Structure formats: C-alpha cells, structure tokens
Amino acid sequence: MVKPLVQKIENQQKRIDHYFVKTGDKIEVHTRIIEGEKTRIQVFKGDVIAVKNGRNNNRTTITVRKFSGGFGVEKIIPLHSPMLDRIELVNRGMVRRGKLYYQRLRKGNSAKIKPKNVW
C-alpha cells in the first residue's frame, strides 16, 4: 500500500500525454541526455514488447526492443520520467498478446511485427 504523501507527490508528477502506447507498437522515444553542462536529445526507435505496472500507476514502464548491429537491445523506460521528452508513434502492430517476450528468441524477418492497416 502506498502512503498518502507519496501518492500525492506521484499524482503531481503524472503525465497524461503517453497513454496511447500499446504492446506491439513501433515507437520513437526521445530522451534527454545530460553530458556535463550540455543536454541533448537521444532517439531510441523500436517495438514495445511489454507495458508493466498498469495504466493508472505513476510507476508505469514500457520495454522497447530494437536490433542494433545484429544484437537485440532492450530498454526499460518509465513513462512518467522527467527525462522523457516525447514518444512518437511510428505504426501500430497487429498482436494478440499483452507481453511479447517470445520476440527475444527471434531474429531477422521472423522478429517483424505486422503493422495494422488502419491506425
């Protein structure tokens, strides 16, 4: 059970602009990176394979997976993080499951998620 003070602070930090993300979507995540005194935006483009901790929670995270240099790379992104600049939807995926952990075993064309025709 979350204490009332913690819950009050979490509700103040909630963001409502990232609730469109679903499992199977291909997205671009723009995060702020601080290097010394400079800040820059880094883009991570991949498929959402999991949404954890529910939608009404301030601790909601998404797991995004992409292939880089022949290796699968996963990144766990908290949706309500202040370091998150924005999330752009590239296309919706046609999937039947809530968690796509089977994607970790696939490579090449078998790892592709079919896009929906209308999204």
Please spell the DSSP secondary structure of 48-65, one letter per residue.
EEEEES-SSSTT-EEEEE
| E-strand stretches of the chain | 26-35, 38-52, 61-68, 71-78, 84-91
Query: For 4-17, what is each residue's pLDDT tens digit?
Result: 998 888 888 888 88
Q: Which of 75, 65, 76 shows the shortest CA–CA distance to 106?
A: 65
Alpha-helix runs per DSSP H in the chain: 4-12
Dump pLDDT digits (tens) for 35-82: 999 999 999 999 999 999 887 788 899 999 999 988 999 999 999 888
- Map out the domains of the chain with their CATH numbers: 23-100 (2.30.30.790)
